[in-house]
Amino acid sequence: MSDPQSIAYPYAKAAFDYARDASQLAAWEKMLVVMKEVVEAPAVASQIEALDMQGPDAHEAFTLSFLAICDGLIDEHGQNLVKLMAENGRLEVLPQVAELYQTFKSDFERTVEACVTTAEPLDEQQKASLSQALERKLNRTVALTCQIDPSLVGGMKITAGELVIDGSLKSAIHRLASRLEA
C-alpha cells in the first residue's frame, strides 16, 4: 500500500473544506474521532484487512455494519465519507484522515496544543507566563497541558506541534557527557 498519509490527504481535505464551509468544524472533528475509534477496534481492523480478499457484496455488508456501529454518532455527510472510503478500499486510513483533519482545523483556527513536561509542578503564574511566551513565539493560541516527570531533574521539555524545546537538566547532563566522551 502507498503511504497512508498521502492516501488520507484528499479525504481529510475534503472533509475539512466541507466542515469549514458548513461551519461544522467541531461536529466533524467528533465524527472523525468516532470513525477512527471504530476502525481501530481490533475486530473491525481485522475485518477491514480481510475485505481485500472478498467481493463487492462483502464490502457493502461491511459498510452497512460499520454505519450501524456509528448510528446516531455520525450524520449523513459523515456516512457518505465512510461509504466513499469503503467503496475505494480506503477505510484503513481513517485514523490518518482524522489526524490530518485535526491539523487542518488547528491551522485554520491558529491553535496549537503544547505539552510541557517538568520535574516539579508549575504554578498558575508559571503556566500563564509560559503559555504567553509560546503564543508569541508560535503566533498561535496555545492550549497548554502539563506533565510531571521527576527523571528530568530540573528545567522543562516543551512539545508544540513539530517544535520541541528540551531545556531539561537531564538533557543538559547527557549533552555534557557526550562532549566529555568525545
* CATH 3.40.30 residue window(s) in the chain: 111-181
Give residue-wise pLDDT tens across range 12-62: 999 999 999 999 999 999 999 999 999 999 988 888 888 777 777 777 888
Using DSSP bridges, classify how beta strands 111-118 and 156-160 pair: parallel, antiparallel or unpaired.
Answer: antiparallel
User: Is residue 38 classed exposed, middle or buried when 0-12, 13-18 and 19+ CB atoms within 10 A define those classes?
Assistant: buried
The answer to which of 55-59, 81-85, 92-96, 161-165 has the lowest mean pLDDT is 55-59
Residue 181: per-residue pLDDT: 85
Give residue-wise pLDDT tens across range 101-121: 999 999 999 998 999 999 999
Q: What is the pTM of this model?
A: 0.76
CATH number of 4-106: 1.10.520.20
Banded model confidence at residue 177, pLDDT cuts 50, 70, 90:
confident
Query: Alpha carbon of 96 to those of 51, 54, 110, 166, 180: distances in Å?
Result: 19, 24, 21, 28, 43
CATH class held by domain 111-181: alpha beta
Q: Which residues of 65-97 are buried (b: 16+ CB within 10 A; e: fewer)?
A: ebbeebeeebeeebbebbeebbeeebbbbbbbb
Whether the pLDDT of residue 1 is over 60: the answer is: no
Nearest CA-CA partner of 182 in 168, 174, 152, 167 = 174
Q: How far apart are CA 149 and CA 120, in angstroms?
A: 8
Q: What is the mean pLDDT of residues 89-107?
A: 93
Q: Residues 6 or more apart from 159 whose CB is under 8 A from it?
A: 114, 115, 117, 165
* CATH 1.10.520.20 residue window(s) in the chain: 4-106
Whether the pLDDT of residue 161 is over 60: the answer is: yes
